[in-house]
C-alpha cells in the first residue's frame, strides 16, 4: 500500500528548502521597490502635484490652476491664461503675485527630484545599515511639498496689501491647502493632483522596502541565511 502523504522528515526538508527562497525574496524586493520609487519620482514631474479651482462671478465656469513641481499652469486652454487671471483677482484683495511664490523651491525642484531618485538607486544597490537614510528625502517628499505649499499660502493670506482696492472688505486669512474655502465673493476648491499621488505611492514603496530590509537585518543577526 502506498501513500502520497509526506512523512515528518520529508515535510521538514520541504520547509527548510522553502525558507532560503523566502529569505532571498526579502533581500531582493527592497531593491525592486527602491528602484520603482525612483522611477515614480521622475515620472511625477510630468504631472501636476496640486490644483485649485476658483469660482468668481465674472467667471461662471471657474478658473483652474495646476501646480507642477516647478511650474504653474491653467487647464490648458490657450485662449485664457487662468493663472494670470487668478493673479489679477488676488491683486484686488491685496495678495502678492503668484509668480513670486516659492521661486527658490521651483528653481531647485527638478534637480532635487533627480537627486532624490539617485539616492534611492544608491540605497537600492548598496546594502548597508545606514543607507536607509538616503531614502528619507523621497519618503517625506509628499508631506514636505504640502507643508511648503501651506506655508506660502498662509504667508500670502496673512500679508495682504492694506492699499489694495478691496483691502477694507477682506481680513487676513489662511487659504486651505485642501478642501473648500470662501474669500469674500470668491470660492475656492483645492486638491492634490496626479503628481502628488504618484510620489505618495513611491513613499509607500519605500516604507515597504525599509520594513523588508529591517526583517532581513534581523534574520542575519539571528544567524539565519
Query: From CA 44, how far away is CA 133, in angstroms rounded?
Result: 22
Q: What is the pLDDT of residues 150-166, one digit of tens each?
A: 999 999 999 999 998 88
What is the rounded CA–CA span in Å between residue 159 and residue 203? 34
Residue 1 pLDDT level (bands cut at 50, 70, 90): very low
Each domain of the chain, given as residue ranges in start order, spans 35-219
DSSP secondary structure string for all residues of 55-75: EETTEEEEEEEEE-SS-EE-S
pLDDT tier, 14 (very low <50, low <70, confident <90, very high otherwise): very low
Regarding predicted confidence, which is higher, 192 or 224? 192
Task: Please state the pTM of the whole predicted model.
Answer: 0.86
Amino acid at each position: 500500500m502506498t501513500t502520497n502523504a509526506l512523512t515528518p522528515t520529508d515535510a521538514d526538508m520541504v520547509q527548510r528548502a522553502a525558507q532560503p527562497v523566502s529569505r532571498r525574496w526579502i533581500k531582493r524586493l527592497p531593491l525592486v521597490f527602491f528602484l520603482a520609487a525612483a522611477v515614480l519620482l521622475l515620472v511625477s514631474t510630468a504631472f501636476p502635484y496640486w490644483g485649485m479651482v476658483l469660482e468668481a462671478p465674472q467667471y461662471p465656469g471657474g478658473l483652474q490652476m495646476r501646480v507642477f513641481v516647478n511650474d504653474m499652469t491653467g487647464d490648458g486652454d490657450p485662449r485664457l491664461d487662468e493663472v494670470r487671471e487668478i493673479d489679477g483677482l488676488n491683486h484686488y484683495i491685496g495678495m502678492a503675485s503668484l509668480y513670486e511664490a516659492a521661486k527658490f523651491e521651483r528653481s531647485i525642484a527638478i534637480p532635487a527630484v533627480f537627486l532624490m531618485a539617485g539616492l534611492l538607486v544608491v540605497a537600492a544597490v548598496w546594502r548597508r545599515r545606514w543607507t536607509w537614510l538616503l531614502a528619507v528625502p523621497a519618503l517625506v517628499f509628499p508631506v514636505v511639498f504640502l507643508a511648503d505649499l501651506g506655508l506660502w499660502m498662509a504667508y500670502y493670506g496673512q500679508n495682504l496689501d492694506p492699499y489694495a482696492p478691496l483691502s477694507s472688505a477682506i481680513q487676513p486669512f489662511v487659504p486651505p491647502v485642501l478642501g473648500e474655502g470662501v474669500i469674500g465673493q470668491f470660492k475656492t476648491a483645492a486638491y492634490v493632483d496626479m503628481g502628488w499621488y504618484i510620489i505618495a505611492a513611491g513613499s509607500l514603496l519605500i516604507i515597504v522596502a525599509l520594513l523588508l530590509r529591517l526583517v532581513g537585518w534581523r534574520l542575519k543577526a539571528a544567524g539565519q541565511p
